[in-house]
A and B are shown apart, each in its own frame.
Chain A
């Protein structure tokens, strides 16, 4: 009797799972994201325990009589589903994701929420991505990202990337291909994956290079890129990505930080991006040069006495890294050209300066589970006026010189509890407020020049 119940239950479960699998498969076939490959593969092997403690095996659909699994459906859908079932192999569809929660306390000034008054849990990052290889040379991938960080990011999920990648040429270790869609902007070592706690060295990336306040502008864009990997058995690998893009400019934090005091809107223009990375074969030495030529137009409001002007932001980044078994040394340098033109306003049109940023960072892996790092990070909004004095006197902002630079010394510790779960803590001592978000600190006169930041973070991924 007990046996009978079990087998009936197992049939029901298997039939049920198969139904779900088929439905998901159809979803996928019609252009949506699905979890079927995983559901299917795991479903086959998963052993569950029912209330009597007997274990049941989930059966593959093929092991069941057809009247249980067959659902009336047009033949072509069934054919498509069967075709997919035959073709799909584990790993062709992959689903990955992550979530991270941080707690931040600052001595003065606010970072991601009211961190000054007793700390805040203001930084939450989560992402879910799927990638699928329908053909050997074609890869389709997409990621949805949610980021809750102070006033600038509400946590509203946004499409981070979604594109097609087609491999045009592949011979031994040399590859060449094209990507089109919404793509991550390839610059520096970390921009492509800056929202994934596991892939970055610290809770806050070096803010001089990876500004969080203009992050959405820098993060990804609607783009077409060519890429190539050229590998030599002795000398190493040279990888390059080149493309044009329409940047994402309709974002509050970007507008506030670029258009201080202006009320109009930004529209996007064709922009260009490129990066070349050289790696030795043992990946000990990594060198990169990246550059962006970012264009946007400003559309003034009716009341503003301005013409629609053009903004041009063209940073160049130099990156270098050395990796040993226990330690890594990383440094990046950026020179950022910023120019406004065509506003028909003397002061705005005169905006033409070079910013400068760099950091040096040492990481040490005590054990595979415990890692530590030390970093010095410096930002100068205008390299010809590093102290900000000239800017303050010209703009009548005496006392706010420190908003034009930031020097940050950071130490941190990371504990990889399991490969999927990580905890870490870091301490920053900062002189200057150059990278503070204007949205989180609306009154600049209330910010302090010398301040400290302590943060802890827990993160999970799969």
Chain B
């Protein structure tokens, strides 16, 4: 992955302008221990492995992948809610990897999160006013908190008179609006949206997506948008990074990635999405399950299920040697379109169904 580590290749993705967030070779392994007094480490969960990408000001970077692919861990590493095993995160020009809690505090104004579950991310004992106002209570610097909170409520589509109500008096969609207002309170630069619409009904989902898009324009926000729903990610993102078993396997513009996927995993993932057009589309059904991140496969982590590798070898039971032995670097396959694959798909190439089960 060496060439990728140089910032030069990454900024080539989008020339001009410095990245707001630069993630380089970020790795997080969670130890699994056994024993009570002498905790021996018996294994490690490879949650995030050697991940690098940039987020540019004003854009929405979508992060997609199945459960357990490391999307949320990546978000928690960027916000330094957990410490990385290795690698670096540069936020707005500052290398924050080694920062202490105290050093992080002023930066927390600049990065906020919106969570998936609007039922468990709001304190049921606080009024909406207290919830949205709590960033001011922590960070200070606002005299007329009440007026400011009511402005925010108005902006996100809540009735400002409901200032004194409790979260249980609101519906799921309205609660998510409260979460959005809280994230906006300190006028952050970066908002990390971790599955913000996954728990909502479709008609409400669209309301929240439109709200997020409107806010981005008004306040020039940068989003890292995490979701497992590929249609939603495509709708809202400018660029998309696809994760599989802790690795970023493909990065490209939303358009490019969906029209012309390079990595076989991205292609299979897209083909698995119901099109809503009434059956009949070519679906690559991946055999088996995602391998365990405790013991990820050697070489390319996707080789155990990869249909393309089997097309290259010409046999359903064999994959080329380099797929088995070496992880392919995330390199530019086409301008500003990166993929980590030894045999990236060519334009228009279709994956044949891997015969084996």
A and B from one complex: no
On B, residues with C-beta under 8 Å from A are: none
On A, residues with C-beta under 8 Å from B are: none
